[in-house]
Amino acid sequence: MDDFFNIRIPIGDGVAAFIDFLANNFERFFDFIFVIASSLIKWLESGLLAIPWWIFIVIVFAIGWYFKSLYSGVLYAFFMFLIGTFELWPETITTISVVLISVVLSLLIGIPLGIGMAFSKAMSVIMRPILDAMQTMPSFVYLIPVIFFFPLGNVPAVIATIIYALPPVIRLTELGLRNVDKEVIESAQSFGSSHFQMLMKVQLPQALPTIMAGVNQTTMMALAMAVVGSMVGAQGLGERVLYAINRIDISLGFEAGISIVFLAIIIDRVTDGIADRLQRQRRNFA
């Protein structure tokens, strides 16, 4: 028995060697990604910071009112006002910028992969264990390889967030497309629709509520990485939480933490409201 536990299979060494290989041979590629990602984050952050705080709060109110209710709009606007009184407005805008960039890139990658899995059984069989591993892997582990490829800051946090937040939108895109009513598909085929036309005009609209549920989960998971990303130099509310932990500053820790909670509530309710509205429109159209 003792001899058995002395056996070592160096899988980790192989992964480390592969990471070193990528870092040494694709340095220009990772530098290109860094420049693009950092430019996008700075551009979005600068644009959001240029909006006066009261206009931003009015926009949040209008979004909440349109997609949920008047009460929700007032509540979300009040949440944003409270964040401003905590003197955490710039950090909040930075967090929103990082989350938005991460979610958009996750959707650009995840939705096509979900579509591919829905139409290819082989691809689905290959991807499912990979997605299982991505969802069960501790989020801190994603920070280890990205710091080999990128300087500390928001960019490695965005890359780690994308990897962490991808599985829900991939899975739910596949699920939504596979659950489209076969009679609807047969009807579209009888009218001579091509595969692309059927996908764009029939299957994706029918699967949109399920896909939106995936968007909601991906967004919430991206926001959950805000504090974790601060460990690789990401700025924003997560950085303030980490600072408060290091200084044992209960006041700052609570204010930064509750600000993340406020953002999570707003994002969750708004994306849920968008999904509900799409579902109602689909029923009315049907």
Query: Where do the domains of the chain lie?
Result: 2-50+86-285
pLDDT-derived band at 4, boundaries 50, 70, 90:
low
pLDDT score recorded for residue 61? 95
Q: What percent of the chain has pLDDT over 70?
A: 95
Query: What are the helix (H) ranges across 86-181?
Result: 89-119, 121-136, 143-149, 154-178
Task: Kindly report the average pLDDT of the chain as a whole number.
Answer: 85
Q: What is the pLDDT of residue 5?
A: 58
Mean pLDDT of 37-59: 91
**Residue closest to 267 by CA, chosen among 222, 234, 229, 225:** 222
CATH of domain 2-50+86-285: 1.10.3720.10
Q: How many CB atoms lie within 10 A of CB 23?
A: 13
- pLDDT-based confidence at residue 146 (cuts at 50, 70, 90): confident
Examine the pLDDT at 219 and tell me if it is beyond 80. Answer: yes
Percent of the chain with pLDDT over 90: 31
- Is residue 2 over pLDDT 60? no
d(Cα 154, Cα 97) in Å, to the nearest integer?
A: 10
* Helix %, strand %, coil % of the chain (to 5): 90, 0, 10
HSE at residue 173, side-chain half, CA atoms within 13 A, is 24
What pLDDT sits at residue 191? 73
User: What is the average pLDDT across 161-185?
Assistant: 87
pLDDT given for residue 54 in this prediction:
92
pTM comes to 0.86
How would residue 21 be classed by pLDDT, with cut points 50, 70 and 90?
confident
Residue 183 confidence (pLDDT): 79
Q: What is the pLDDT of residue 178?
A: 87
Distance separating alpha carbons of residues 280 and 224, to the nearest angstrom? 29
pLDDT of res. 234: 81
Query: Of the given ranges (102-111, 194-203, 215-224), which has the lowest mean pLDDT?
Result: 194-203
Q: Is the pLDDT of residue 116 over 80?
A: yes
